[in-house]
Structure 1
Amino acid sequence: MTQARLPVFDPAHATPEQKALLDDILSGPRGNLNGPFVSWIHSPELGQLAQKLGVYCRYDTGLPLRLSELAILATAREWQSQAEWAIHLPIAVDAGLSAEVAEQIRLGQTPVFEKEDERVVWSFATELYHHKRVTDATYARAVELFGLKIVVNLIGLLGYYALVAMTLNVFGMRAEGQTSLPFPEPPQA
């Protein structure tokens, strides 16, 4: 993992708040610090709140894992988040998202979905990201398919992973073991 903008974190010199955050992340369902967590350790209050929200958004939204991961890949593509994509692509494919659909997303194409629930999640995410709103038709279909609570959770998932993507991008973080980049890096201004 690259952390060019972050100072090296030494757990031996962690504050009690940092130690609590580390313990909560490492003993939780993630079990590792792969992602934005090394940056959040520098603001353990934010880190605690964010990682708890993340546990809910990743594991407890009520969406099948395939659809949650599709929403995360849509977010990674929108933000061109190298680490987010690298971490979540294999999870998405293992959960049943077509590798071909994932590649279409990575390339910025409109994916060809065989499953309607995937098409609805994609439409919801891309409309929200591109137009800052969701059409009545997409909203109604999402509520019909998933129910209102899960639609609310989908919005939370998209917002949380946008936070993750922004964090990863600002600090130039990469996934553990990441050797290639799915998106071209933008030129430095």
Structure 2
Amino acid sequence: MRGPIGAALLAITLATPGLAQNRFPSIPPEQMTPEQRALAAAIQSGPRAAVPGRDNSIGGPFNVWLRSPGVGDRLQALGSELRFRTSLPQALNEFAILITAREWSSQYEWFAHHRLALAAGLPASIAADLAEGRRPEGMNDDQRVIYDFCIELHRTRFVSDANFAAVKQRFGEQGVVDLIAVSGYYVALAMTLNTARVGLPDGVAPPLPELRR
């Protein structure tokens, strides 16, 4: 929710003791069920383990998904596919994730992927414009078609012939499917984070400003 009402609700949330706390406390390993331990092991292994600077603890959305290990396992596997085996260039894939984070005002999602996007080559100025709710200036052709496709899909729930054709021409039919999938997956992840009220690390200020539209 945006505008004065959204700002007021955010202020109430931050000002009310306990309301902004994570609704799903961490589960100590010794208290996990066998299914939860298997999910934790899957999350901590594979390509995620090779990400530089990654905290290998079970936090963020993964701690929430431990409550439903079957769902969590399928979600983490899909996330791994969409991050590490997508047909889209990494910088553009991360751009799509940041667009989703901004559309859902998911502070944790933006925090987790902003540095990955910049490391992959997304210009900091484009991320900064996006964070402020502006159409980024200086986008190249690839960035522009990703932005136009994702913004239209998020905001209208449909994609025009022009935006569909632009992505298909540049990235093929697999690229179209991968772009839809990464957008949808990170909507589900943002829903998880926002519902669970997953907080940022200590000392980290919320990176996304409140938007008024």
TM range, normalised to the smaller chain?
A: over 0.9
Residue 156 of structure 2 corresponds to residue 131 of structure 1: yes
1:180 aligns with 2:201: no
Gaps of 5+ in 2: 1-19, 50-55
Q: Distance in 2 between matches of 1:167 and 1:178?
A: 22
Deviation at 1:176, TM superposition (A): 4.2
Given the alignment of the two structures, is residue 148 of structure 1 paired with residue 173 of structure 2, yes or no? Answer: yes
Q: Which has the higher contact order (CA 8 A, sep 6+)?
A: 1
1:39 is the counterpart of 2:64: yes
Q: Is the 8 A contact 2:106 2:190 kept in 1?
A: yes
Give the direction of change, closer, same or farther, for the CA distance of 1:134–1:93 in structure 2 (3 Å limit): same
SS in 1 for 2:152: helix
Give the counterpart of 1:76 among 94, 97, 101.
Answer: 101
Conservation of the 8 A alpha-carbon contact between 2:106 and 2:194: yes
Counterpart among 25, 29, 48 of residue 43 in structure 2: 25
1:17–1:44 CA contact under 8 A, matched in 2: yes
Q: Kindly indicate whether the alpha-carbon contact (under 8 Å) linking 2:146 and 2:167 is maintained by their aligned counterparts in 1.
A: yes
Q: 1:50 to 1:67 in 2, by over 3 A?
A: same
Gap runs ≥5 in structure 1: none
Residue of structure 1 equivalent to 2:146: 121
Q: Would you say the 8 A contact 1:76–1:85 is kept in 2?
A: yes
Query: Aligned residue for 2:132?
Result: 107
Tell me, yes or no, if the aligned pair for 1:61 and 1:153 is still in contact at 8 Å: yes
Secondary structure of residue in 2 paired with 1:168: helix
TM-score, scaled to structure 1 = 0.92
Task: Look at both structures and tell me which one has the larger radius of gyration over its CA atoms.
Answer: 2
Stretch of structure 1 that moved more, 175-184 or 46-55:
175-184
Instruction: Report what 2:34 is aligned to.
Output: 16
| Structure 1 residues 71 and 10: CA distance shift in structure 2, 3 A | same
The CA RMSD over aligned residues, in Å, is 1.7
Query: How far off is 1:3 after superposition?
Result: 5.5
> 1:73 and 1:56 mapped to 2: Cα distance?
18
> Which amino acid in 1 is paired with 2:208?
F
Cα deviation digits, residues 117-160 of structure 1 (max 9, x gap): 11001111000001101110010010000000111011000000
Give the TM-score of the pair, scaled to structure 2.
Answer: 0.82
CA gap of 1:71–1:8, structure 2 versus 1, over 3 A, is same
Aligned to 1:7: 25
Q: CA deviation at 1:61?
A: 1.3
Shift of the alpha carbon at 1:28?
A: 1.9
SS in 2 for 1:36: helix
Do the aligned partners of 1:86 and 1:178 also contact (CA within 8 Å) in 2? no
Asked if the contact 2:26/2:59 (under 8 Å) is kept, the reply is no
